[in-house]
Amino acid sequence: MTLKLNLARTLMAGVAALSFAATAHAMDMSGKTVTWTIPFSETGGSAKWANFFAPLLSEALPGKPTVVVKFMPGAGSTKGANWFQRQKNGDGTVLFGTSGSTQFPYLLGDPRVKYEYKDWNPVMASGTGGVAYLNKEAGAKFDGSANNLKDMNFIYGSQGATRLDLVPLLAWKMLGMNVEPVFGIKGRGDGRLMFERGEATIDYQTSSGYLKGSTALVEAGTAVPMMTWGSLNADGNIVRDPTFPDIPTFKEVCEKTDGCETSGKAWDAWKAFFVAGFPSQKIAFLPAGTDPAIIKTFVDAFAAVKARPDFAEISAKRVGKYPMYVGDDAKQALGVATTVPDEAKTFVKGWLKDAYGVELD
């Protein structure tokens, strides 16, 4: 009996070893190409985010496959997200990246949304910030409040009112500023180009886009930083952005501006969408149906990227000083990014209808 039991155990161990070997072999991605699709243009912050992580991910994945970043702009990222919803290739060669401009239409029930975040597999998420800046003329009048800016008319290049742009648009509205959006650009980088050409007089960029493209404008004197959206501390309060500690937050500017309040329905709605759109703003997904072993391979690879001794230094320069989440932490970050109180949604929908004629109900 003992001999039979030992033999059975030996056979089971052999089967397990063969299974492990087969799985290990399957995880070898040598010679493969991972296509990381970004649903924006190649000039924006999401492009810079993916281009930063792509070579690091390639080095960390088993077999060091090539990781190529592909751009699929359109409808403020809805086009790309709808495409990803239809993808069934779960072999690890299809990766997708979203931002708040993908999350907000989903949260607001935009009829163009045909995607469901719950179907996707998040493997990495990272926070970001945002910086709003003025042209030279307006910057000369900026004193830490918007009081001297209320008699000016601004032009802003926007991806759409239901996209991440609703955070700056609502902030400027609360400050009493007259900002006219020109809708239809395919990425925030295109908005920066409008600003550079003088076609726009106010702009905002997520941190990676600001670090890579807008700081040169500030150094040249053609752009003046106005405010960041800030960052959340452990108590959920808005504090200065760690990447831009010398720039005041919207909360600080609001407190100094006549008629702007950091309490009430407008503030609560703005903060709710800020929390959904920035602390876990950019997320990398594998499609529905991906094998759990492949998901774990990507999670482990991103964890290895995060654990690099030089990661804090190189990421601060390229994408800013923000947390990076992997595995279960990325799932929790996704939950935060796709959850907004009903009261905030109701307020924003009413504001979008009144301000821009956008009806979502």
* Residue pLDDT, tens place only, 245-256: 999 999 999 999
Q: In whole angstroms, what is the distance from residue 190 CA to residue 74 CA?
A: 13
Alpha carbons 69 and 14: distance in angstroms, whole number = 41
pLDDT at 269 over 90: yes
pLDDT at position 12, please?
39
Q: Which domains does the chain show, CATH number per domain?
A: 34-128+278-337 (3.40.190.150), 130-277 (3.40.190.10)
- Residue 17: pLDDT band with limits 50, 70, 90: very low
Distance in angstroms (rounded) separating the CA atoms of residues 320 and 281: 13
Sheet with 130-135, edge to edge strand ranges: 202-206, 130-135, 223-228
- 11, pLDDT greater than 90: no
- Give the pLDDT confidence score for residue 305 in this predicted structure: 98
Q: Is the CB of residue 97 less than 8 Å from the CB of residue 50? A: yes
Q: Under 8 Å CB-to-CB from 71, ≥6 apart: which residues?
A: 37, 38, 39, 40, 41, 42, 47
Per DSSP, what are the bridge partners of residue 238? 232
| Other C-beta atoms lying within 10 Å of the C-beta of residue 181 | 23
Q: Which whole-number Å values give the CA distances from 55 to 60, 68, 306, in the listed order?
A: 9, 9, 13
pLDDT tens sequence across 102-134: 999 999 999 999 999 999 999 999 999 999 999
* CA end-to-end span of the chain: 71
User: Where do the DSSP E strands lie in the chain?
Assistant: 33-38, 66-71, 94-98, 121-126, 130-135, 153-158, 178-183, 202-206, 223-228, 231-232, 238-239, 282-286, 324-326
Instruction: Note the pLDDT of residue 75.
Output: 84
Q: What is the pLDDT of residues 302-345, one digit of tens each?
A: 999 999 999 999 999 999 999 999 999 999 999 999 999 999 99
State how far the Cα of 296 lies from the Cα of 244, in Å rounded to an integer: 34
User: Hunting for tokens 């602390």 — which residue is that?
Assistant: 279
> How sure is the predictor about 14, in pLDDT bands with cuts at 50, 70 and 90?
very low
**CA-closest candidate to residue 126, choices 312, 308, 271, 250:** 312
